Amino acid sequence: MTYSASKIKPKQQPLVVRRFSVNIEQNLYKIERFLLILLIYFAPMHKVALDIGVRLRPTQFITVLLIGVLVVRILFTKTLYIPSKTLMLLVFAIFLSSVASGMFIISLDLYAKGMITLVLNLSVLLFFSLHVRNLDDVKDMWKHWLVISIIMSVYGVLQYALWRYDRTDIDDLLLGWLNLRKSGLSFYAAQAQRITSLALDPNNLSIYYTTVVPLWTYMLVKQKLGLKWLGIFVAWALVNLVNILTLSRSGLGGLIIGTVLTFPFLLIMLGKHKILLLRIMLVLIAVFAFFVMILYYYSIEYWVNILTLRLSMSAGTQRHLDLTWESLEIFMLSPIVGIGVTQFAAWYQRLFLPGESADWNTHNGFLTILTETGIIGMIIYGIFFLYIFMQLVKVFSYSRQWRLMSVFLIWAFISYLVGNMGYNSFTFLNFWIFVALVLASSRIWLRDRKALTIS
């Protein structure tokens, strides 16, 4: 992926004015960096939102601020850096396909909210592409991506422990003043206390972890044995523990399938490096010990009952299967351009639940794209996903230093896509940030193939 600069050449200015412009650009760059880091931290926290008639999340406010900072920087510096033309065309195509789907909307309010969310998500994708310009930026952003996963996991463990032993709702205790949307802990407790952490829904949390578990595994594999390795292992184990206790079929299933598809290839590649292969073996031993401890704590019967509950053809599972066929019926209403962004619930209520209040979704990210943006939108998103995958393949092919990292990112990306076959999370901001970091990292790694690996 190339990285070009489009410069608006100003008239010759006095030295003092030019220095002032440089200082302004540097300060604006620092502000952008701070806001982007805030986005990384708030993106998975779906619970953190003010209820003022609509749910106002910090990420929305931060993104608007970023747009303002970008406009100011262009006005002062007369310089605008743009990512590759291919990425810009794909972003524009996604936007146009969503606009075109508006011909068949039946709820203008939902459509407006959906388009605002899409524009903000696409803006964040471009902001990260604009901002990440060197290897230090890449390292810093990925480290923050891992840090927030630990914060989410610690909160999830506290949530689980307090509710299990004292029936204390940590959301009310710490976040009640935000008037946040309730997570329904009593319901999740009835089904083995599924951890939601700050993600509002256990599936939201588990889908997010598909982009985190492979990266912590990479850190574990690359780090030399010692105290730092032990600390990384504790973090890795904590993230996996919380992920397991979400009991999410979509998130855990996506991660398992992603592992099956990429791990054999990873082992073949690491076979040339005996030290790395040894570390993989140590990780596998640690995984085994970790699961033994969990089984010992709950007893095998406990987990058999839980797995039977989650995998059996329950009423909820049957409802998801019914939604698949009903989604295809809705798709046939407008197969070319779709029924409109975020219009599925409105059309579903009109066709299948007239007179009732319903907020259903397809529970399948790909079906959502197909029904709401039609065949045109599905093709565009497919090209977009393929473009991301090919950037990682390029890193694997041409950058020896980052070849191993690219495989772990492919693992994460595939896991996220597979997870969305049982859940709809392509509208989540954390997905677009992850994609933005993947694309920005690929550009930097291909540009600087001799760069040092992440320490």
Quickly list DSSP for 131-169. H--SHHHHHHHHHHHHHHHHHHHHHHHHHHHHHHHH---
Q: Write down the pLDDT at residue 84.
A: 78
pLDDT of residue 5: 44
Q: What's the mean pLDDT in 420-429?
A: 88
**Buried/exposed code over 155-179 (b: 16+ C-beta within 10 A; e: otherwise):** bbbebbeebeeeeebbbeeebeeee
pLDDT band at 2 (very low <50, low <70, confident <90, very high): very low
Reported as a single tens digit per residue, the pLDDT across 289-300 is: 666 666 655 666
Predicted confidence at residue 71, as pLDDT, reads 82
Within a domain: 455: no
Please state, as a whole number, how many other Cβ atoms lie within 10 Å of the Cβ of residue 30: 10
326 pLDDT tier (thresholds 50, 70, 90): confident
Residue 9: inside a domain: yes
Percentage with pLDDT > 90 across the chain: 28
pLDDT at 72: 82
The answer for residues whose C-beta is within 8 angstroms of residue 217's C-beta and 6 or more apart is: 236, 283, 408
Angstrom distance (rounded) from CA 430 to CA 120: 12
Most trustworthy range by pLDDT among 20-34, 157-171, 203-217, 294-308: 203-217
CA 210/CA 222 separation, integer angstroms: 19
Can you give the residue range of the structural domain that contains 18?
4-447
Which residues, at least 6 apart from 349, have a Cβ–Cβ distance to it below 8 Å?
A: 356, 357, 358, 360
Is residue 151 a part of any domain in this protein?
yes
- What pLDDT score was predicted for residue 229? 85
- What band does 330 get if pLDDT is binned at 50, 70 and 90? confident
42 or 129: which leads in pLDDT: 42
The predicted-structure confidence for 363-418, as pLDDT tens digits, reads as follows 888 999 999 999 999 999 999 999 999 999 999 888 778 888 898 999 999 999 99
pLDDT per residue as tens digits for the range 206-235: 999 999 999 998 888 888 778 888 898 889
Name the pTM for this structure: 0.86
Strand stretches in 33-157, DSSP E = 50-51, 55-56, 79-82
Query: In the prediction, which pLDDT does 186 show?
Result: 39
Question: Is the confidence at residue 281, as pLDDT, over 70?
Answer: no
Asked if 406 and 392 touch (Cβ cutoff 8 Å), the reply is: yes
**Residue that wins the pLDDT comparison between 19 and 216:** 216
Please report the pLDDT score of residue 191 as a whole number: 44
In DSSP notation, 248-269 reads -HHHHHHHHHHHHHHHHHHHHH
Residue 452, domain member (yes or no): no
Cα(13)–Cα(76) distance, rounded to whole angstroms? 13
Any domain includes 42: yes
What does the pLDDT look like over 62-99, one tens digit per residue? 998 988 888 887 777 666 666 678 899 999 999 999 99
Q: Is residue 453 part of a domain?
A: no
Cα–Cα distances (Å) from 370 to 349, 382, 421, in that order, read 18, 11, 12
Residue 44 · residue 199 · CB < 8 Å:
yes
With bands split at pLDDT 50, 70 and 90, how would you rate the model's confidence at 31?
confident
217 and 239 Cβ atoms separated by less than 8 Å: no
| Residue 355, pLDDT score | 65
Residue 123 is assigned to a structural domain of this protein: yes
Residue appearing with tokens 């912590």: 216
Q: Which helix (H) or strand (E) holds 7?
A: strand 4-7
Average pLDDT, the chain: 79
Domain annotation covers residue 454: no
The count of other CB atoms within 10 Å of the CB of residue 334 is 20
Domains identified in the chain, total number? 1
Give one DSSP letter per residue of 371-426, joined into a string: HHHHHHHHHHHHHHHHHHHHHHHHHHHH-STTHHHHHHHHHHHHHHHHHTTSS--T
Has residue 21 got a pLDDT over 90? Answer: no
Instruction: Give the containing element (helix H, strand E) for 294.
Output: helix 274-298
Q: What residues form DSSP beta bridges with 6?
A: 80
pLDDT of amino acid 416: 95
**Average confidence (pLDDT) over 434-439:** 94
Residue 197 gets the label, from left (phi > 0), alpha (psi -120 to 50) or beta, of left
For 27, 183, 271, 354, 390, the CA distances from 264, given in Å and listed in that order, are: 47, 38, 11, 50, 20
